[in-house]
Chains A and B, each alone.
Chain A
Amino acid sequence: MMSGIVKRPISRRNFLKLSGAATAGAVVGSRSGILHALVPKSSVAKQGRIDKRFSICDMCFNKCGLIARVDEHGVVTKLDPNPKFRKSRGMLCARGNAGIKQLYDPDRLKYPLLRKGERGQGKWQRLTWEQALDLAAEKMQRIAETYTRCGMLFMAGSDLQSTFVHHFAEVFGSYNVISHESNCLLSRNRAFLDTFGEVPFADLLNCKYVIMAGANRFEALVTPDSIDIVTAMQNGCKLVVLDPRYTKTAALAHEWHSIRPGTDMAFFLAIAHVLVSETLYNKAFITEKTSGFDKLAEHIKPYTPEWAEKECEIPSKDIRRIAREMAKAAPAAIVYPGRRSSDYKNSTQIRRSFAIVNALLGNWDKKGGLTVAGKVGLSSPELPEAPFYEDNPEERVDAGRAKMMFDEEGSFKHTRDAVIEGKPYPIKGWFTYKTNPMQTGANREKTVEMIRKLDFMVTVDIAMSDTAWMADLVLPAPSYLERKDPISALQGVSAGACVITRDPVVPAMFDSKPVNWIVSELAKRLDLGEFFDFTMDSYRKAQVKNLPDAMKAINKDGVYYNKSKLYGRYEGKVFKTLSKKIELFSQRYEQTGLDPIPVYTPPKSVPEGRFRIVVGRNAYITQGSSTNNELLAELVPENRLWLHPDPALKLGIRQGDTVEVASTVGKERLKVRITEEIRKDTVYMDSGFGAMSKGLSNVYGKGACIAAVLEDHSDDISGNMAMHETMVAVRKI
């Protein structure tokens, strides 16, 4: 291809071409001279030796297997799917492919940073690790002595190394450990746990009828669900979507209903009514496996489809028809449990109605129904027992603020309130790892207020997220492609449960250090070194002591599958409930003074001239991992406010105008997207935009941040954030 003798006069183009430099610029942002030097010129046409190395994607929580291609210069040139990885059906989505732009993001955190100047000013001083760790340990020790060990709050995201943060929190002695889960799916977990004794997975692949209420699987990707539902639909499965927004999932479904926001419970109670009154449920299943049927039958008598139509704005004849269709397809019929349930103040009870309908369909532990987590067989390494600190308070700081919180999870909203109030006891330190509550915790002003109450905040992250931007000490962690992680189990529904881990594809860049090293170094400085007396290798060895074939399979295929049956796992077993059966009527709720069967309350009505704001995501920019990614930002540079043409006309707003969306807790500005894909009384915004951190140069200031506008209501029972209860005003700027 390349001629040896250049016949034409040397032009700049030819010169660049001959030196091979031309193609390199496209790989890495050419802002940073350092990075440019790190990426030698490799042209696509001539490919030298390529090393293939396994890893697990971290661009979202799904953890799909991948094979990284590393060239002879040690540069990762491409991330390919791992064909043996069944959970992802051997594929990698847009974010997974864009992972190299996280690895080679010039904006990444490179060395420890200490805040100088005011919070949010963005003035930092570079520290050595020695200095940073000494400082952090000293601060934490001071807090422990002045405010007890519970004076430190720990928040770790969904990550294979978060277990070490939790271990550190335990030996440090703080009960105040939270995670992003209480801004996401805790109320769903609560409802399904309280009904079935366990949180199930939906076997979409083999299902014949699926109702998705709010879940947007073609944009909020979950593996294997998002892929399996397509296969199922090709095989005749019917998909019904209830959503106030005409999402891609709604657009590809067989049937879509623009349900009035907050009325899902009415819909499902009415479905239950039809199933019971027309005796469309599996009698044997109900008798054998459930308790409280008679009470349920009595309770749902008034919840007729005709009644429900007035509430949810879905015709009663459709409700009846859907119920009958579901019954016909049962047990391969599912009310999809969904994931994020952080919507309404009664989100747990709403999901209880989902769970009850599933129970009536008799789909538990069956092919095409709700399946349970598979056994994996990993062991917990034996570590020395954590000490007990006598001066500690008895409880978590957020205890008692919700009626039935998960003891280990607590509630971000309630914890934040407690920190601001200083009651029942003060919290003065915050350690965050791979979590971004400044973006995800509704009512951002409150998060700022909370941070101002702290003596010390340390954030471990790979990018200068909005949360890191507000911290006192920012510690750089390596990306997933540079890490050695412990072994972890991963559920895959019909793909089976598997065992995964990560080994570095390339060495850690700059001065980044993984969080397991960070917490063990802190532990040493706090006289807790004995609790971290292990290496990653020895830890892993202990984890797989009962799985002798695991490491070999992981090294060969990038994943290990422990064969276990997918269905019928509950044969001969009792349910983990008080009645030992599926509780249509929840005994525990009755004991605790909660409605044992969901009682419908209508959502707040939308005031005249205002809108209910609902949030969600697209398939490209999802969580913190995918923010500031050069490739993904090109697909969606900013979010827009979805507004229906009719109210837009009344407000004098035209396509592409900049609007201000305002609630009682904040206002944001962004461009508008006028579309009929949203209801007239509702507006919508993607999450993950409106970054206030100048350390995210690709996305800083683009779009708007949902957390700045959302009021922080919460679910009564689980303490889960309730993000769809906020009413906003919209005006043209």
Chain B
Amino acid sequence: MFNRISSILLIIFLVAGTVSIGIAAGKAGGNARKGKYLYRKNCRECHKEGASAKDLSPADKTQAEWETLFAKGAHKSYQCAAEWDKRSEKDLKDIFSYMYDHAFDSPSPAKCK
């Protein structure tokens, strides 16, 4: 039981750590331009007007919201969890950077394109 608690704590710690590292790095640390490419190639197919999922562009959510959505493990409950699993850590970081850097309340909000 002690092991269980400590591993839960460890997980919480890791999650919090990942998220806070994200903030501390300022611009989320990934390659936002690659992230734009990856997002459009992999996610936009469904996340656009008239397609199966909600039309999503970076400016549709605040930076805080993107952080929550991209927190480690958060995607497990999403409909497209399988798609997320296909992407590497680096890819996800890049996509997150793209969304975060151009979020609703970011210094360079994405213009509705």
Contacts and interface: CB of A to CB of B under 8 A. Distances in A.
A580 B40 CA distance: 28
A394 B37 CA distance: 13
Nearest to B33: A175
Contacts of B67: none
Contacts of A577: 105
Interface string A399-417: 0000011111000000000
Contacts of A380: 112-113
A197 interface: yes
A268 B57 CA distance: 37
Given A385-B37, A394-B31, A576 B107 contact: no
A386 interface: yes
A503 B112 CA distance: 26
A311 B16 CA distance: 49
Contacts of A526: none
A194 B108 CA distance: 10
Nearest to B111: A408
Nearest to A190: B107
Size bracket, chain B contacts: 20 to 34
Contacts of B102: 407
Contact of A576 (B33, B44, B105, B113): B105
Nearest to A396: B33
A576 B62 CA distance: 8
B105 A578 contact: yes
A588 interface: yes
A395 B111 CA distance: 19
A197 B105 contact: yes
B37 A576 contact: no
A576 B111 CA distance: 13
A388 interface: yes
Given A388-B34, A394-B31, A407-B101, A588 B107 contact: yes
Interface residues of A, number: 23
B96 interface: no
Contact of A407 (B38, B49, B108): B108
A710 B105 CA distance: 35
Nearest to A583: B105
A405 B34 CA distance: 19
B107 A406 contact: yes
Interface string B95-113: 0000001101101110111
Contacts of B112: 380
B41 interface: yes
B37 A386 contact: yes
Contact of B37 (A194, A388, A406, A580): A388
Contact of B109 (A385, A576, A578): A576
A408 B113 contact: no
Nearest to A194: B107
- Which one of A406, A407, A580, A588 has the greatest number of beta carbons of chain B within 10 Å? A407
A380 B50 CA distance: 13
Interface string B70-113: 00000000000000000000000000000001101101110111
A588 B34 CA distance: 25
Contacts of B107: 193-194, 404, 406-407, 588
Contacts of B31: 394
A104 B108 CA distance: 41
Contacts of A404: 107
Interface in B36-71: 37-38, 40-41, 44, 49, 59, 62-63
Contacts of A388: 33-34, 37-38
A607 B73 CA distance: 62
Contacts of A392: 33
A406 B37 CA distance: 19
A209 to B, nearest CB: 31
A282 to B, nearest CB: 24
Nearest to A395: B33
A34 B33 CA distance: 50
A408 B113 CA distance: 13
Contacts of A588: 107
A197 B109 CA distance: 9
Contact of B104 (A386, A387, A576): A576
Contact of A385 (B40, B101, B105): B40
A597 to B, nearest CB: 18
Most chain A beta-carbon neighbours within 10 Å: one of B37, B107, B108: B107
Contacts of B49: 379
A406 B108 contact: yes
Contacts of A193: 107, 109
A405 B49 CA distance: 30
Nearest to A386: B37
A580 B105 CA distance: 8
Contacts of A576: 59, 104-105, 109
Contacts of B33: 175, 388, 392, 394-395
A382 to B, nearest CB: 8
Contacts of B41: 385
A175 B33 CA distance: 9
Interface in A575-608: 576-578, 580, 588
B4 to A, nearest CB: 37
A392 B36 CA distance: 14
B29 to A, nearest CB: 11
Interface in A245-266: none
A405 B101 CA distance: 12
B15 to A, nearest CB: 22
Nearest to A408: B108
A649 B22 CA distance: 63
Contacts of B108: 405-408
A193 B31 CA distance: 24
Nearest to B40: A385
Nearest to B30: A394
B23 to A, nearest CB: 9
A259 B37 CA distance: 49
Given A193-B107, A408-B108, 18 more contacts: A175-B33, A197-B105, A380-B113, A385-B41, A385-B44, A386-B37, A387-B37, A392-B33, A404-B107, A406-B107, A407-B101, A407-B102, A407-B107, A407-B108, A577-B105, A578-B62, A580-B105, A588-B107
9 contacts: A193-B107, A385-B37, A385-B44, A388-B38, A395-B33, A406-B107, A407-B101, A408-B111, A576-B59
**Ranked 9 nearest A-B pairs via Cβ:** A407-B108, A388-B37, A385-B40, A380-B113, A404-B107, A394-B31, A576-B105, A576-B104, A406-B108
Interface of B: 31, 33-34, 37-38, 40-41, 44, 49, 59, 62-63, 101-102, 104-105, 107-109, 111-113
